[in-house]
Structure 1
Amino acid sequence: MIIRLSKAALVSAMALLASLVAINNITDYATNFAFIRHVFMMDTTLTGNGILYRSLDQTWVHHAGYIAIIVMQTLTAVVCWIGGAKLFRTRHAGEAAFGSARAWAVAGLTLGFLTWQVSFMTIGGEWFGMWMSRQWNGLESAFRFFVTFLLVLIYLVMPSDASDPAVKGRASAQGADLEERTRCDL
Structure 2
Amino acid sequence: MAVRISKILLVASIGALLLLIALDNVFDYNTNYEIVSHVMSMDEVPRDSVISWRSITNPTLHKLLYGFIIFTEFAAAALCLAGAGKLWRERRAEAVRFNAAKNIAVAGLALGLGLYLFGFLGVGGEWFQMWRSATYNMQQAAFRFIGSIGLVLLFVHQRDD
Q: State the TM-score, normalized to the length of structure 2.
A: 0.97
Quote the offset at 1:159 in angstroms.
2.5
3-state SS, counterpart of residue 87 of structure 1: helix
CA distance in 2, matches of 1:129, 1:8: 37
Partner of 1:80: 80
Partner of 1:178: none
**Residue identity in the other structure for 2:3:** I
3-state SS, counterpart of residue 43 of structure 1: coil
CA distance in 1, matches of 2:46, 2:137: 12
Instruction: Specify every segment of 5 or more residues in structure 1 that has no aligned partner in the other structure, as ranges.
Output: 165-186
Larger Rg: 1
CA distance in 2, matches of 1:149, 1:41: 29
Instruction: Specify every segment of 5 or more residues in structure 2 that has no aligned partner in the other structure, as ranges.
Output: none
CA distance in 1, matches of 2:109, 2:9: 13
CA distance in 2, matches of 1:73, 1:46: 31
Confirm or deny that 1:147 pairs with 2:147.
yes
- What are the superposed Cα offsets for residues 118-164 of structure 1, whole Å, 9 maximum, x if unpaired? 1100000000000000000000000110121111010011123xxx2
Partner of 1:35: 35
- What are the superposed Cα offsets for residues 151-183 of structure 1, whole Å, 9 maximum, x if unpaired? 1010011123xxx2xxxxxxxxxxxxxxxxxxx
Partner of 1:136: 136
Partner of 1:66: 66
Partner of 1:168: none
CA distance in 2, matches of 1:75, 1:122: 20
Is residue 99–residue 159 contact of structure 2 (8 Å, CA) maintained in 1?
no
Quote the offset at 1:45 in angstroms.
2.5
Would you identify which runs of 4 or more consecutive aligned residues in structure 1 move more than 6 Å?
A: none
Report percent identity of matched pairs: 37
Partner of 2:52: 52
Q: State the TM-score, normalized to the length of structure 1.
A: 0.84
Is residue 83–residue 108 contact of structure 1 (8 Å, CA) maintained in 2?
yes
Is residue 40–residue 55 contact of structure 1 (8 Å, CA) maintained in 2?
yes
Partner of 1:113: 113
**Residue identity in the other structure for 1:81:** L
Quote the offset at 1:50 in angstroms.
2.1
Is residue 10–residue 152 contact of structure 2 (8 Å, CA) maintained in 1?
yes
